[in-house]
Structure 1
Amino acid sequence: MEVSKQKKGKKKDDKVATSNKKKNKVIKTAKSYSSCAVTLTVISIIVAVVAYLIYTVVFHIPELPAVDLDVWWGPNHTKLSQDTAIRPFRIVFSDAMQEQLVKKFDHHRRLEKHKSFDDTAWTYGVHSSAREQIFSFWQYKYKIKERERFFNQFQHFRTNVQGLDLHFMRVRPKVENVKVLPIILLHGWPSSFREFYDVAPLLTTQRPDYDFVFEVVVPSLPGFGFSQGAVRPGLGPFQVAIVMRNLMNRLGFTKYYVHGGDFGHVIGSIMATLFPNEVLGFHSNMPLTLAKPSVFGRVLGAVWPTILDSHNWQKIYPLKEKIEFLIEEMGYSHLQATKPDTIGITLNESPVGLATYIFDKIMIYTDAENKFLEDGGLAKYFNGSMTDLIDNVMVYWVTESITTSMRIYKEVSSVELILEQIPTSVPTWFLCLENEPFYYPEMLLRWKYPNLTGTTTYKFGGHFAALEKPQILADDIFLAVKSIKQ
């Protein structure tokens, strides 16, 4: 009997143990499910937060900044006596200026020259042999009075806008029974209004298969050339865009087209964003946007470059190589964005120093391979003549505007980046030249320019299209506007 009781007790204990095991298993399973649920909840929250951050940081479209059309950039005491008349203006290279230039040249000639390294070309900057080539051409072959007449072949004017005396060139077409469309051409740095001298007559000449021509307005940006600079800080591209819009309104244009390159692209793009009811179309030869989705897309595109641009992906990748180029070649922009007045003093003291500084930027951005040529590509580009380039330098030298022109780099602020995140509805067209260092493919450009009407791509040309390829630029502007009008 006792054995039987022991067996029954053992069976009972085994049942209890089995039951406890099942209970423990259920408890563990419940805890496991609970733990998974907590983990999934945490992961979901993290994903949601990350998604929200990506949206707010990358894809969120900010509000349009407040626009004050009447900010005064001139001396305060001139507000009550502002002259808004449009006054004829003539470019003069004075005898006093020429005498000063001769003295500066004589001083340069007497200086002991430091020679560049052998076989370094322009990799250390402008080569000494090229420097002397520039100096010799400017001193002996550049005909100042002849160039003065060249500058005055078009009508020039000045008018006061927001306290600044602005210079602009106005070229009207001589046609009948043809639509005349106003267009403003915006230069950048270190170019000037001189950049468009070969383009303007092409735009004002009637063409077969086109029922329109242009009336061309070419301003000197505030602080550039013959346009007065601001007397206080803050006149960045955002504010310059407002000044340019007010200039066009002053001339009677409430509907107009805009073309820009370099800083002209930045300013023109802002005009299109701020004033979409006025800007009929925007054309640029710098296919660039700093819209965050575009920048983000460019970085991700490094994994599969051809998905962004199957034909021209080499223009933006390998990413490391392109970034290294910009780091090497854009040191000047950091200097000008921090201490423009310091370098300005130096450049204003030496015409040859000013010329070499400007030539270096123009030649390298025309073709990066120029740095491996001893003459920097001077014989290869711009018809092998330095006349056009010296003309541009003369604009800065005569007006002593190199310092005020460079200040635009320092005046760039967060508002310009905000405006880059706001899509513009204005029809847009890009001219994409082979050696343009700031290039984005159509897929990425559309984040900023959803109404991208078209692009034109060539296997030649560089950053300063108006100087190097005026015919191509004029042809493309006609083509773009014809497409936009249809």
Structure 2
Amino acid sequence: MDVQPFEARATDAELDDLRARLAAARLPEPETVRGADPGPDRWSQGVPLADLTDVVTYWRTTYDWRPFEARLNRIGQFRTTIDGLGIHFLHRRSPRADATPLLMTHGWPGSVAEFVDVVDELADPEDAQAPAFHVVAPSLPGFGYSDKPATTGWGTERIAAAWVELMGRLGYDRFLAHGGDWGGNITTVLGGRHPDHVIGVHTLFAEAPPGLSTEGLTETERRWTEETHDFWHHRAAYAKQQASRPQTIGYALVDSPVGLLAWILDKFADWSDTVDSPFETISRDRILDDVTLYWLTRSGASAARIYYESHASLDPGLRVDVPAAITMYPRDIEKTPRPWAEHRYRTIVHWTEPTSGGHFPSLERPTYFTRDLQTGLQKVLTATAPPPASTV
């Protein structure tokens, strides 16, 4: 039951070693589509050599890890042991007396770095009419400063149960839950398996039960299903690799900072709502905060194993009856038509389809993301509020 304060502090030797490895990196020849116009074709073989070289140089000569490290410490970091595993989490309590506990779960290749730009506004919004939250953002098992599981079994169902235990230890018996990517999967499990503790959910990942028909869908919704099908059949080799052989790719991710950067940067480029480069909407520093966190904690292999544990494992029969707010960003990798989502999420109180944004909206569009999350969760809270007492 013990919860201990935690501070991130990399040694100077660790940072010097990182820079030395970057300086000694061996790079391949350029891609054979070199010279393509800006856009997806230029990235069709992966991260272009020129782009990677620029980021590696910036990482080695200019990037400073210390400000991000200090930011995590200011937000508030803690660790506790649940089910035999050490779990790291951010915890930012709101000063507002009417604040509601909010659990935020990241995915891969993300981390708690996804939430550092939105935590303060969620906890202490400038608009006094906006809802406020006590924000808890755990690092998934095997990610960041959480421990690495030494045995199999840490799939999304077990993680969701651990999150209920974590929130209870903090005094939050009932709470809201948000997530995207693996965090969206876990949020769905939380809403479906633990309705006694979960007030409602907000998710960016509304995975529908399998086998649903496209009959009756709009043209846009049909296009979504085609895009999702294309993604899983042509752009998801990373998931199959991590689901089947995480240990093999893990050696490269833990031993080579350039290999780790390329593996993660490829996803930021492919999954963001940009024309050519992820740096159109996300700063180099924030992406390198995320990559450096993976590097310093040696979590490339252990984070990949969540695919081995849980890939395609969401229970087809799981239903979420608590109120749900769902946002489908246009450039996300998997978009679910509302009629399909309604088969799993039985009480959708807020559904939005923004005009821009991709898989990492808290980094790409932090202001919009925050307002949408506030609006959606306010509707969830309204839907669960008891009716006013009769005056008769």
Q: Normalising by structure 1, report the TM-score.
A: 0.74
User: 1:202 touches 1:471 (CA, 8 Å); kept in 2?
Assistant: no
Q: Distance in 1 between matches of 2:67 and 2:279?
A: 23
Distance of 1:195 and 1:134 partners within structure 2: 19
Corresponding residue SS for 1:422:
coil
1:280 aligns with 2:199: yes
Q: CA deviation at 1:149?
A: 2.1
Q: What one-letter code is carried by the residue in structure 2 that aligns with 1:396?
A: Y
Query: How far did residue 395 of structure 1 move?
Result: 1.0
1-structure distance, mates of 2:187, 2:317? 15
Distance 1:441 1:323, change over 3 A: closer
How far is the alpha carbon of 1:275 from its aligned partner?
0.6
Alpha-carbon contact 1:179-1:211 (below 8 Å) kept: no
CA deviation after TM superposition for structure 1 residue 218, in Å: 0.7
Shift of 1:440: 1.2
C-alpha distance after superposition, 1:446-482 (max 9, x if no partner) = 1000111121111100011111112112111211122
1:378 maps to which residue? 278
Secondary structure at the aligned position of 2:99 is classed as strand
Cα deviations by residue, 1:174-218 (Å, 9 ceiling, x for unpaired): 33xx40100010000000011000111110123546364101001
Structure 1 residues 342 and 112: CA distance shift in structure 2, 3 A: closer
1:116-163 CA-to-partner distances (Å, cap 9, x unmatched) read 222251100110001101101111220133333233221101111111
Alignment partner, residue 253 of structure 2: 347
Q: Residues 39-74 of structure 1, C-alpha deviation per residue, up to 9 Å, x if partnerless?
A: xxxxxxxxxxxxxxxxxxxxxxxxxxxxxxxxxxxx
Which residue number corresponds to residue 291 of structure 1?
209
Within 5 Å, give how 1:238-387 maps onto structure 2: 238-286=157-205, 288-292=206-210, 295-297=211-213, 300-301=214-215, 307-309=216-218, 312-313=220-221, 315-316=223-224, 319=226, 322-367=228-273, 370=275, 373=276, 377-382=277-282, 385-387=283-285
* Contact in 2 for aligned 1:210/1:482 (Cα 8 Å): no
Matched to 1:452, the amino acid is I
4+ aligned runs moved over 3 Å, structure 1 = 206-209
State the secondary structure of the residue aligned to 2:292. helix
CA distance in 1, matches of 2:233, 2:350: 30
Contact 2:208 2:341 in 1 (8 A): no
CA separation in 2, counterparts of 1:228 and 1:112? Answer: 32
1:395 and 2:293 are equivalent in the alignment: yes
2:75 counterpart of 1:137: no
Which of 19, 26, 33 is 1:102 aligned to? Answer: 19
Aligned residues: 376
Partner in structure 2 of residue 466 of structure 1: 362
Give the counterpart of 1:417 among 314, 333, 351.
314
Structure 1 residues 244, 343: CA separation in 2 closer, same or farther (over 3 Å shift)?
Answer: same
Equivalent residue number for residue 385 of structure 2: none
Structure 2 partner of 1:30: none
Say if 2:212 and 2:340, in contact at 8 Å, map to a contact too. no
Q: Does the aligned pair in 2 maintain the 1:180–1:214 contact within 8 Å? A: yes
TM-score normalised per structure 2: 0.91
Q: Determine the structure 2 residue equivalent to 1:455.
A: 351
2:144 alignment partner, SS class: coil
Q: Find the structure with the greater CA-based Rg.
A: 1
2-side partners of 1:467 and 1:206: how far apart?
18
In the alignment, residue 95 of structure 1 is paired with which amino acid? D
Given the superposition, is the C-alpha separation of residues 244 and 125 from structure 1 closer, same or farther in structure 2, using an over 3 Å criterion?
same
Alignment of 1:194 with 2:113, yes or no, is yes
8 Å CA contact 2:228–2:334 kept in 1: the answer is: no
Q: Aligned equivalents of 1:97 and 1:279: distance in 2?
A: 40
- Give the % identical residues: 28
SS in 1 for 2:176: strand
Is the 2:167–2:173 contact (alpha carbons within 8 Å) kept by the matching residues of 1? yes
Matched-pair contact (CA < 8 Å) for 2:92–2:134: yes
Q: Aligned ranges for residues 466-485 of structure 1 at < 5 Å?
A: 466-485=362-381
Counterpart CA distance in 1 for 2:14 and 2:130 is 45
Aligned to 2:5: 88
- Distance, in Å, in 1 between the alignment partners of 2:339 and 2:228 is 19
- 2:146 maps to a residue whose letter is S
| Partner Cα separation in structure 1 for residue 308 and residue 27 of structure 2 | 35
Q: CA 1:112–1:216 in structure 2 vs 1: closer, same or farther (change >3 Å)?
A: closer
Question: What pairs up with 1:419-458 in 2 under 5 angstroms?
Answer: 420-458=316-354
Distance 1:347 1:328, change over 3 A: same
Letter in 2 for 1:428: A
Q: Does the CA-based 8 Å contact 2:272-2:278 persist in structure 1?
A: no
CA distance in 2, matches of 1:152, 1:422: 37
Q: Of 103, 106, 128, which residue of structure 1 is paired with 2:49?
A: 128
Matched to 1:313, the amino acid is E
1:332-361 per-residue CA deviation (whole Å, 9 max, x = no partner) reads: 000000000110001111111101110101
Larger CA deviation: 244-253 vs 332-341: 244-253
2-structure distance, mates of 1:427, 1:322: 25
Give the CA deviation at 1:322.
4.5
Any residues of structure 2 matched to 1:152-191 within 5 Å, and which? 152-175=73-96, 178-191=97-110
Amino acid across the alignment from 2:21: K
Amino acid at match of 1:101: L
The one-character-per-residue Cα deviations of 1:267-300 (angstroms, maximum 9, x if unpaired) are 01001111111100100122x32313xx422xx3
In structure 2, distance between residues paired with 1:126 and 1:212: 40
Shift of 1:314: 5.8
Counterpart Cα distance in 1 of 2:319 and 2:27 = 55
Partners of 1:259 and 1:284 within 8 A in 2: yes
CA–CA distance in 2 between the matches of 1:123 and 1:353? 18
* Structure 2 Cα separation of the partners of residues 386 and 196 of structure 1: 16
Deviation (angstroms), 1:99: 1.9
